[in-house]
Structures are given as structure tokens and as C-alpha cells.
Amino acid sequence: MEKNTYDVIVIGSGPGGGACATLLQKRGIKTLLIEKNSFLGGKMVSIEKDGYAYDLFPHGQVPTRQPVFEIIFQELGVGDEFQPTLLPNDPRDMITICYRRRDWKQFRRVSQPQAMGDSTPFFRLWDIDEAAQQKTLAFMTDVVTMPDDKLADLDNVSMHEFISRYDIPYELYSYMAMHSNASLAEPIDLVAASEQILILKQIMLQGGGGQYKGGFATLANVLIREFEKNGGTLIRNTKVDRIRVEDGAVTGVITPKGTFNAPVVVSSAGLQPTVLKLVGEEHFDRSYVNYVKGLAPGWGFTSVRYFLNKPVMTTGNYVAYSDDSWWNMERFLKVKEGRIPDEVTLFMVNHCFFDPEAAPPGKQILVSGTVCSPNPEAKEIEGLWKRMDEHMVQLFPEIWEVTERREYSGPREISNLTRDSVLPGYGGECVGLGQVVGQCGRMKPNPSAPIRGLYYAGADAGGAGMGTHQAACSGMEVARLVGHYLNKRLKAQ
């Protein structure tokens, strides 16, 4: 084969691109993987610095049992290396949920082992009577037993609309609204019920909140190690500037390190950046360009990392919310106008719970986050950081005395590290394109682009479920599609 010529070029080493490239190479397809950063893993980047090992952004795996990464590791022959740091039968209290009803002065909290199907701790937390408990159980039973074909009927129904079909206590509605922010970075009145229910089912039946030793990037590191071991070529620190298209088919990519040729390019740089910037509008039909421009971005997620010289948190995950802290569209728009709410919801990961070596002895690292706009230029982010800090003191009064250092990040950093902002207000998406009504399930963007040999892998196209799982599912699906395409091409030659 000619120098710089491959069967497939994959752009990006996040869970979508990483899974796709690794599976293609394992199946004997000569693949080049190009990553713009020095590190691997995209948004699931993990850092090892000054004795700490942590995710730059707070991550938890859903489902814990049989996430798609486990299936991929098995195909690669390294199934025994798939070692989540939380076993399904771990008896320790893993998650603390902290809640304040509107008419309460104080937050109440409850801790429990890995998030599964037991509603009893929630009944204690919400302090609801027997009748409300029965209504909650009836709703949750419908959710957990919902067959896949019924789930697909809810692609075009928002979670708010779905819940409104039931007579449920407000405490359950409030929890579901918080959950749509926490698990999907979406508002309850836009998120597709099919997506949220899928995630709820997975948490209840297969567990949720898992982590990996060394952080989530461990997954990418193993995948790409296998990729290279199987003969794949990885180029880091190199940004793809253009995807070349001739006569309606891709022919390769252009980078500062030269031009690379392939009849297939799989991009996980984001669907909109791929179409509007890397390929260019001129190569697509106007109707497709308009469709792509009209796709709604998911929300962003802004984080604060607390480096502590003494532990303050005992469980692995922590969620603190109130009836006033979750965001629906109305609250989101108020924040966009600059009205910072008094309270924010906090989602936290304590890496030391999952891996005692994640911090130097006697120390702790907490990665905390809350939802925000995906706009890299959003002005309200600093106001949200302030609220997050204030809320941390409420939850852990001793925290400032033991804080050695804090780091703040938001949609600007997410965009810089992962996808370019090619439309005003886009780029800092936490998951990818919104998992909202009209963009999910059967209506999710197709991973095959209307240009021969061009595919999108990752959270924007194909796949379903929570961020990393969804993106890796998409990577797996695209590897299959590309295999078929290359076979057909070979037969036609």
C-alpha cells in the first residue's frame, strides 16, 4: 500500500472514535487514528498530577454491569482487563443524595449502596406518605418493565409529557427533573422520554455510577494500546484541518503533518464541525446543511475540582438538589439572561472512594459539576462557580479550611479540548447533540453521511444512553457499517 494511505482514517480518540478505530483494526482494516490532543479519551480525559489521579470532568458509568466497553474489551481479547472499581455487590454506601423540599429549611440526606432498584431510601429522603409511595412504585414499575418497542414510541415524547400521564408526588417529579439534568444534561421538558427511561432502566437493572482505576481515560488507553498492538497507526497532537472530498466521495484528510489518503473517513469531531468546517457546506445538499444547522446542542456542564488536605466526603458519588435547583427550559432561559439562581444542583465524584491511590495519603480530590449553557462564551459561568462554592460550604462546612487548591472549568475548556464551536452558542456540549425530542432513537442523526465513505462516530449519531456508553455504542455501530461499505467496494472493483 502507498505511504500515507489507509483503508480508514478515524478523527478523534474519545469513546466514539476510539472504539471504532480499535474494532476496525482488530478486524483487519488498516486504520489511521488522528487525535488533536496529546492525551487520549476526548471528554473522558483523566489526569495524573502531583500524586492525584482524577477525571477532568465528573464522570460515572451507566450501566455498571455490561456497559458496551466490556463487550468491546471482550472482542479485543482483553476482557479480563475490564475492571470497574465498583463491583455490583459492593456493600459500602456508594452514593449520597441530598435533597431540600421547597418548604424545608435544611437539606436532608441519605446514603445507599450502588444506585439500583430500591426505592425505600428515596421514600425516607422525600418523607412521603404511604399513598405517595404506592404511586411512586407504580410509576417506577412501568418504567423498569417497559419493553423496547414501547420505548421507541417515546422518542417524540418529552419526559415531562410522559410523567404528566401519571398521578405522582411532586417529590418524584422533582427527582426526575434533576435526573434529566444529571444523566443527560437536558431539561425534563425537552429530553426524549425514551432516552431518559432507557438510562433509568439501566441504572435500576444493571447499576449506575461506576468508575475505573486511573479514571475513565483508562478505557481509551486500553483501547488505543490494543489498536496499536494490532498494527493501527496513531498520530497525536495533530488537528485535522480538512476532510477531502472528490466527486461525492471522501479521499482522505489534510493536517499540518501532511495529507493522508483513505476511501473512508470516520469523524468524531462532532457532526456540525464535521459538516460545516472539516468537509464544508459546499459538498452537501442545502437541505442537509439546513438540517445539520438546526440540530439542537446538548447542555454544557461546568466543573470545580477541589484538592483537599483532609477528606470531607465518605461516599463515591454525591448529588445535592432541591425543588428550586434543577433546570427546565424556563429556568435555563432565565440563567441565560444573567439571572443566576440562588441554588444550583451539584453532582460530585470522590475518586478516592473508588481508588484509594487517587490522592496522596490523607488527602482527597472531589470533582463537582452543574449544568450550564454549551456556549463557550457564556457569561454566566462565573456566577455558577460562585454558587457552586457557596453550596459546597453548606454541604461540607469545613471545606475551605482543608482546600489546598481549586480549579474551575466550563464550556470554553470543553470546546477547546474537544469540539470546535462552529455555530454561535455551540461547542461546549457535555454529551454531544441534545438527546431531545426529535433527535433521538429513530430520529437520531444517521451515522452515515450523504457523502460516500463519510461517517460520524460518537455521541452525535447512532447509539443511545448515557454519554460515554452512547458514544462507544455509536463507534461499534459505525465499525460495522464501515466493514460492510469496504466489502461492497471491494466486490465492485
Ligand X SMILES: Cc1cc2nc3c(=O)[nH]c(=O)nc-3n(C[C@H](O)[C@H](O)[C@H](O)COP(=O)(O)OP(=O)(O)OC[C@H]3O[C@@H](n4cnc5c(N)ncnc54)[C@H](O)[C@@H]3O)c2cc1C
**Shortest Cβ 15–ligand X spacing (Å):** 5
Q: Strand 258-261 to strand 249-255: parallel, antiparallel, or no bridges (unpaired)?
A: antiparallel
**Shortest Cβ 43–ligand X spacing (Å):** 3
**Shortest Cβ 19–ligand X spacing (Å):** 8
Residue 253 near residue 246, CB atoms below 8 Å? no
Instruction: Report the residue from 60, 84, 113, 316 that binds ligand X according to the rule CB under 6 A.
Output: 60
Of 478 and 486, CB closest to ligand X = 478
**Shortest Cβ 166–ligand X spacing (Å):** 27
Instruction: Report the residue from 44, 172, 234, 262 that binds ligand X according to the rule CB under 6 A.
Output: 44
Residue 458 near residue 432, CB atoms below 8 Å? yes
x/- site string to ligand X, residues 335 to 374, per CB under 6 A?
A: ----------------------------------x-----
Strands (E), 275-402: 300-308, 317-322, 346-350, 364-372
The C-alpha atoms of residue 360 and residue 459 are separated, in whole angstroms, by 34
x/- site string to ligand X, residues 149 to 188, per CB under 6 A?
A: ----------------------------------------
How far is CA 357 from each of CA 51, 171, 404, rounded to the nearest angstrom? 8, 38, 18
**Shortest Cβ 102–ligand X spacing (Å):** 27
Strands (E), 181-340: 233-235, 242-246, 249-255, 258-261, 264-267, 300-308, 317-322
Q: Is residue 444 at the binding interface for ligand X, with CB under 6 A as the rule?
A: no
Q: Is residue 36 at the binding interface for ligand X, with CB under 6 A as the rule?
A: yes
Instruction: Report the residue from 9, 26, 33, 35 that binds ligand X according to the rule CB under 6 A.
Output: 35
Amino acid at 254: I
Q: Is residue 219 at the binding interface for ligand X, with CB under 6 A as the rule?
A: no
Instruction: Report the residue from 9, 17, 54, 188 that binds ligand X according to the rule CB under 6 A.
Output: 17
Sign of CA dihedral 330, 331, 332, 336: positive
| DSSP annotation of 242 | E
Q: Is residue 325 at the binding interface for ligand X, with CB under 6 A as the rule?
A: no
Indicate the burial class of 319 (C-beta count within 10 angstroms; 0-12, 13-18, 19 or more): buried
Q: Is 368 left (phi over 0), alpha (psi -120 to 50) or beta?
A: beta
Binding site for ligand X (CB under 6 A): 11-17, 34-37, 42-44, 57-60, 239-240, 268-269, 301, 303, 369, 414, 418-419, 430-432, 458-459, 466-469, 471
